[in-house]
Amino acid sequence: MNRVSLLQIPWLKAALKNRWPQFTISALLMAGFVFAIVAGLVGTPVGSRNFGIIAVWIAWWAILILAVVPVTGRGWCSVCPIPMAGDFLQRRSLLGPNGGRTRGLNLRLPKLFRNIWWQNAAFALMAIFSAAILTNPRVTALALIIMLVAAIGMSAVFERRSFCKSVCPVGGFIGLYSQVAPLELRVADAAACASCASKACYNGSEAGYGCPWGTFPAGLTRNPACGLCLECLRSCPNDNIVLNLRPFAADLEKPAARLDEAFKAFLMLGAALVYAAVFLGPWGNLKVAALAAGTWPWLGYAAAFLLICLALLPGLFWVAVRLAKRMAPAKPHTARRHDFAQAAAALVPLGLAFWAAFSLSFVFANGSYLLNVLSDPLGWGWDLFGTAGAVWSPLYGSWTVAVQVGVLALGAFGAARVAQRAGARGGLHPLPVSGYSLALTVVMMGLLL
């Protein structure tokens, strides 16, 4: 399969090896992150007039799900401000490498945490409160503070970026969907790594920090394990790291049969469907139930959300996979759990397409609020750029619908293609999984169009 190494471009390689560009972006994002918290705490409680809500859930979200994840995979993790403070506590250095020395308790993360089940739980927890998080600046600020404090706390106790790898609810789905991205960091020659005495990429050196994600690059075969922090590029003594352009969804050619990742895929798929109904549907009672955290209607909503994501969708998929096994001409002996988890790889491109299509619906309709909050970020009556009084005008039209249809059709195509390939390897007929994906796509289209 064709790969093109981007590091053949000299200026790009120099820019990526230099810590300043990455640090500058992270520092600017940290300033925005802190300001979003401040705006959430002291600014107007009206979400559509508060920087915290509009910057995070309109601007950042649109850029993340419509561009950064599909194109770069974990590109956001590369510049995310959340681990900055924890990194500094561990390294006692903002930029210059310290020869691999680290501070803090530096404990190895317990085995119980070495998976993405905790990220799934963190995402599910945020998801059932999403109506409040998305619309109430105070709640958004609280969510951001919790993430920051958790990241710092875990850095003080555990080694490397434990929060990012095992708890961050955002990192979990970015990792899942990074498998679709046409960008990968790998080693050029694994034999060179095997004979490398220092393993500086993992252990750290005078040239760079040891991998914050605890990954040994020579063993890297899938994007979720790499946070694209680029430290290995800086520390490798053999100049053996490559950053490749590759075909879309290349990681899904040989999918990992992991149940935690499979349930992440169901959570994301279910959340996109439920959100499309709650936020874009005409049902007012559903919206009110989702918003009224702690009430009986909300409990019903939360229970329905979890049932759809963790029981209904996986249950129907289980039936589809059993059918796929029966229909397959050759039936290699594999565990049912393995078949289920491996086949769920088809839901990765599908889920990303659902989220992109869902986001197009509300991001462009509400994008003009950016003009208001840029001039009056706290809702205190300022007019910094003369746009505080800009009238709401949706940037939404037939072109949005056309793009949504194209994205959803592409998602169904990607799912069927992965089902075809994974099915050929795992002894599963592709038809039931493709049919499942198509049926969900039509349901999503019904909610969006």
Partner 1 sequence: MNLRRKKLWMTVTLAVLAAAVILIPAPALAANPIERFVMVEASQYAFTPATLHANPGDTVTIELHSADVAHGIYVEGYGVSAEAQPGQPVAFTFVVTESGVFRLRCSITCGALHPFMLGRLTVGPNWTLARAAALAGLAVLAAPLAVRRETA
Strand order in the sheet with 4-5: 4-5, 241-245, 183-187
Q: Is residue 287 close enough to count as binding partner 1 by CB under 8 A?
A: yes
CB 164 → partner 1: shortest distance, Å?
Answer: 30
Residues 414-443 that bind partner 1 (CB under 8 A): 414-417, 419-421, 424, 430, 434, 437-438, 441-442
Amino acid identity of residue 100, one-letter, is G
- Token digits of residue 34: 């802190």
Stretch of residues binding partner 1 (CB under 8 A), selected from 105-113, 147-155, 314-322, 361-369: 361-369
Bridge partner list, 385: none
Interface pick for partner 1 out of 60, 256, 396, 403 (rule CB under 8 A) = 396
Q: Is residue 408 close enough to count as binding partner 1 by CB under 8 A?
A: yes
Amino acid identity of residue 300, one-letter, is G
| Smaller CB separation from partner 1, 127 or 132 | 132
Q: Do 349 and 70 meet the contact criterion of CB atoms below 8 Å apart? A: no
Buried b / exposed e over 226-250, threshold 16 CB at 10 Å, is: bbbbbbbbbbbeeebbbbbebebbb
Interface pick for partner 1 out of 47, 212, 217, 224 (rule CB under 8 A) = 47
Q: Report how far residue 141's alpha carbon sits from residue 39's, in angstroms, rounded to the nearest whole number.
A: 8
Q: Is residue 293 close enough to count as binding partner 1 by CB under 8 A?
A: no
Amino acid identity of residue 358, one-letter, is F
Stretch of residues binding partner 1 (CB under 8 A), selected from 154-162, 258-266, 304-312, 364-372: 364-372
For residue 242, what is the enclosing H or E element? strand 241-245
Stretch of residues binding partner 1 (CB under 8 A), selected from 61-69, 314-322, 360-368, 380-388: 360-368
Q: Report how far residue 150's alpha carbon sits from residue 159's, in angstroms, rounded to the nearest whole number.
A: 14
Q: Is residue 413 close enough to count as binding partner 1 by CB under 8 A?
A: yes
| Smaller CB separation from partner 1, 168 or 350 | 350
| Smaller CB separation from partner 1, 47 or 224 | 47
- At 183 the three-state DSSP class reads strand
| Smaller CB separation from partner 1, 77 or 363 | 363
Backbone phi, psi, residue 116, to 5°: -110, 20
Size of the site for partner 1 (CB under 8 A): 52
| Smaller CB separation from partner 1, 22 or 140 | 140
| Smaller CB separation from partner 1, 44 or 223 | 44
Stretch of residues binding partner 1 (CB under 8 A), selected from 11-19, 171-179, 199-207, 359-367: 359-367
- At 177 the three-state DSSP class reads helix
Residue with structure tokens 């299509």? 357
Bridge partner list, 107: 158
Stretch of residues binding partner 1 (CB under 8 A), selected from 116-124, 216-224, 228-236, 391-399: 391-399
In whole angstroms, how far apart are CA 106 and each of 80, 102, 217? 21, 7, 21
Q: Is residue 362 close enough to count as binding partner 1 by CB under 8 A?
A: yes
Q: Using only C-alpha atoms, what is the Rg of the chain?
A: 22
Which spans of this chain sit near partner 1 (rule: CB under 8 A)?
46-49, 131-132, 135-136, 278-285, 287-288, 291, 362, 365-366, 369, 392, 394, 396-398, 401, 405, 408-410, 412-417, 419-421, 424, 430, 434, 437-438, 441-442, 445-446, 449
